[in-house]
Structure 1
Amino acid sequence: MVLQIPRDRQAPLVTWEPLPADFVLPDDPVENIQQPTLAAALTDALGASGLIQPQMLIASNFGIVATLDQKTVVKAPDWLYVPQTYPTPDGAIRRSYTPLFEGQPVAIVMEFLSDHDAGEYSVRPTFPYGKLYFYEAILKVPTYVIFDPYQLSLEVRSLGEGDTYVLQTPSADGRYWIPELQLFLGCWYGTRLGTTTHWLRWWDASGKLLLWSSEQAERLAAKLRELGVDPDALV
């Protein structure tokens, strides 16, 4: 699939402004039941490996804000990563994120395809703007991941020359190097919290799988049993 953003149209004026206090954020339901679990698993593995720091923003279905030609545009990726954000005033809960105004640019966005929508590929260059257009031409997100859990398709795009996305080629084992996290990303089939499906997972530079917290607990319990200790008796 060739995705090309029209370049003959005048680019919108982009400003980075706080979300208006009276702006009603979208409250649409997620498009398939796997989206929240896929996102949670990605974050859980990073946290269990000690790779999440307080200044980072890692979120799911969370609004990213830009003002285009004086119109507020919000897109909510299924998973996103910002390496450093500014503290919120008085510790207020963050309800959205405006790059540059609230911290560094967004480094990674992921979209998990539903079984009825292809908006993740939209290059619509006019309001309300397509997702791919918004991530590439407006936010200039270095890494854009699209995962289709139904067709088991994983695509990773990186910004190349001219700030245009280039589809990346996986390694021999089907994984993609994600430089913003210094980790590999790939598909893995198995069970987490009672759900057996294809998951997105992280591997480190040496090829070691980053374990979920549940897997770490299971390994600890198995080690205790090897030592003659009943882990259930410790609860």
Structure 2
Amino acid sequence: MVLLTTPQQQTPLVTWEKLPDDFILPDDPVENILQHPLADALTDALGAANRIQPEMLIAANFGIVANINKKTVVKAPDWLYVPRVLPVAADVIRRSYTPNIEGEAVGVVMEFLSDSDNGEYSIRPTFPYGKLYFYERILQVPTYVIFDFYEPTLEVRRLENNQYILQEPSSGRFWIPELKLFLGIWRGTRLGLNINWLRWWDEAGNLLFWSSEQAEAERQRAEEERQRADNAIAQFEAERQRKEVFAAKLRELGIDPDAE
């Protein structure tokens, strides 16, 4: 896909201001019913592998805030990762996230390709700003992922010298430094959906299980251990019976098997 050259624009004035409590967040409908399952599966695998820490922010369709030329801009990527955020009070629900004043910069954003107007590739440099422009120039997110689950295709862009560079996969997977994991496409079934999923692999190439897969693996291990225990008991019982039969034959011959 060819991106149009960004028109010459003055450098935008970017400030970081917490979203006012009375700000009405956009309530756009989800463009595809698969967006939530895809995002949930990514988070679920991280949680099952104990790779989510309390100071992290991992969310789906969650607003990231910046103030550009005195206008509040909110983008809600389909999935995002922030390595460290400041805690909020126990009775406070985090409605949005403003980098630099509420915690560290956003580390990873993902967009699942929609059927609309290629908004995931938009470099519109004026309000309300294109997604690619916003992530690259304003937030300067190190890793931007675009996933088309129908094709399926996966694109990973890394920020180099303030510009996104399309990465080349290694054996079909992309290294995501912020999470120290590989990201790739996997076809299979979860929650009754047989589709193309995004999955994580560790540095050694091991697939990170979803919690359901982990539970099934643990069930199978428990079943195998029970089977081994049953086999050991059966073997012990067979040996006991063999000894009883042998002792009975010795008694028939007038030999006391218990005599020393």
Specify the alignment match of 1:33 in structure 2.
Answer: 33
Deviation at 1:92, TM superposition (A): 1.1
Superposed CA offset, 1:199-225 (max 9, x none): 000000110100000000011111222
Specify the alignment match of 1:232 in structure 2.
Answer: none
Specify the alignment match of 2:106 in structure 1.
Answer: 106
Mapped partners of 1:198, 1:152: distance in 2: 7
Deviation at 1:115, TM superposition (A): 2.7
| Residues 1:196 and 1:182: Cα distance change in structure 2 (over 3 Å) | same
Are 1:155 and 2:143 counterparts? no
Select between 87-96 and 189-198 the one with higher mean Cα deviation: 87-96
Mapped partners of 1:181, 1:23: distance in 2: 32
Secondary structure class of the residue paired with 1:124: coil
Is contact 1:5-1:125 (8 Å) kept?
Answer: no
How many percent identity over aligned positions? 67
Secondary structure class of the residue paired with 1:184: strand
| Residues 1:36 and 1:9: Cα distance change in structure 2 (over 3 Å) | same
**Residue identity in the other structure for 2:133:** Y
Specify the alignment match of 1:197 in structure 2.
Answer: 195
Specify the alignment match of 1:233 in structure 2.
Answer: none
Mapped partners of 1:182, 1:221: distance in 2: 29
Is contact 1:203-1:210 (8 Å) kept?
Answer: yes
Specify the alignment match of 2:92 in structure 1.
Answer: 92
Q: How does 1:164-175 map to 2 (within 5 A)?
A: 164-171=163-170, 173-175=171-173
Is contact 1:79-1:111 (8 Å) kept?
Answer: yes
Q: TM-score, normalised by structure 1?
A: 0.93
Specify the alignment match of 1:48 in structure 2.
Answer: 48
**Residue identity in the other structure for 1:147:** F
**Residue identity in the other structure for 1:164:** Q
Deviation at 1:194, TM superposition (A): 1.2
Structure of greater Rg: 2
Is contact 2:150-2:196 (8 Å) kept?
Answer: no
Is contact 1:190-1:199 (8 Å) kept?
Answer: yes
Superposed CA offset, 1:143-192 (max 9, x none): 0000001120100000012x000000001x20000000010000000011
* RMSD after superposition: 1.3
Is contact 1:107-1:180 (8 Å) kept?
Answer: yes
Q: TM-score, normalised by structure 2?
A: 0.85
Mapped partners of 2:8, 2:59: distance in 1: 34
Mapped partners of 1:117, 1:213: distance in 2: 35
